[in-house]
Amino acid sequence: MRRTLGASAAVLVVLGGCADPKLSKVRAINTDRVGEVIEQAKYQLGVYTAYQRYRYPVVIRRSRSKVCGNGLIGMDVETAKLELVTTNEKTVGGGIAVAGLSAGGAVLGAGVSGSRVTTDSQTLTFTGDVLLSSQAIDYRQGMLERAPIAQALANLWQATLVEGDKPSDVCLRLKSGDGNSYKISLNVVDDGKGNISLQLAPSTLTANGELKSTTGNTITVTFAPHDFSKPFKKRPQRAAAGDPNDANIFGGKSKSASQ
């Protein structure tokens, strides 16, 4: 009898090679704009969950016997952790609120319209459970291309879907638990018109062998195998005013959601 080997997945996005040196600098985010960065991350994760609902019927319809499994593979995001380099300094000219910095406060390129000196920086770690909102957003063609975090997650999912037919003496089964994580390096971009977006950024190998974002900003998501024996989770009712069970949940429509 053939055994199925369980395994957890841990992946780090690495964009090596000829990275743009302008992007390979720590990027500090003004603390008064951190909420916009969190909102952008939440929106892009929502694009991925909408894409999942759009694709799961196709995955089920195409299920068939394979060397390993039957093609029913799903990766549901459970938590997200943002690690951001922040600064309390205000904009210096040009309306740019996201700028480059170095540990010594040297002047580095600030992006689209100038440079600035920063003399303080902090590291913010923000962790949240990924919950369904009370209102679904349907996936539309082109949404993935405008949401790099969602695109990276979809690419990872797609890679697992095409592996089942390759000859192998063992198979891997995605396990539940805390071992499944995906760490993505981020570049926070301000277009100079008040709009912030999140793009993928290069990573580098440190002296101790650790892969680290060159911009200092990352998002790490944990995911669990999708339960194909159950229907999609029902969406919650709108939160009741004053109900402590609905405390500490936030969100809303980002600018990108309407574009």
C-alpha to C-alpha distance for 182 and 256, rounded to whole angstroms: 23
Residue type, 206: T
Q: Does residue 90 carry a pLDDT above 50?
A: yes
Mean pLDDT of the chain: 75
Q: What is the pLDDT of residue 117?
A: 45
Percent above pLDDT 90 for the chain:
34
Asked whether residue 251 is domain-assigned, the answer is: no
Q: Which residue intervals of the chain are DSSP H helices?
A: 34-61, 148-161
Asked whether residue 56 is domain-assigned, the answer is: yes
178 or 41: whose pLDDT is higher? 41
Asked whether residue 259 is domain-assigned, the answer is: no
Asked whether residue 238 is domain-assigned, the answer is: no
Asked whether residue 190 is domain-assigned, the answer is: yes
Asked whether residue 127 is domain-assigned, the answer is: yes
Which range, 207-211, 212-216, 249-253, is most confident?
212-216
Q: How confident is the model at residue 104 (pLDDT cuts 50, 70, 90)?
A: very low
Asked whether residue 241 is domain-assigned, the answer is: no
- 217 and 83 Cβ atoms separated by less than 8 Å: yes
Q: Does residue 73 carry a pLDDT above 60?
A: yes
What sign for the dihedral angle of Cα 37, 144, 46, 183?
A: negative
The number of domains in the chain is: 1
Give how far Cα 226 sits from Cα of 15, 53, 231, Å.
28, 11, 10
Number of helices (H) and strands (E), helices first, in the chain? Answer: 2, 14
Return all residues near 142 (Cβ < 8 A) that are at least 6 apart: none
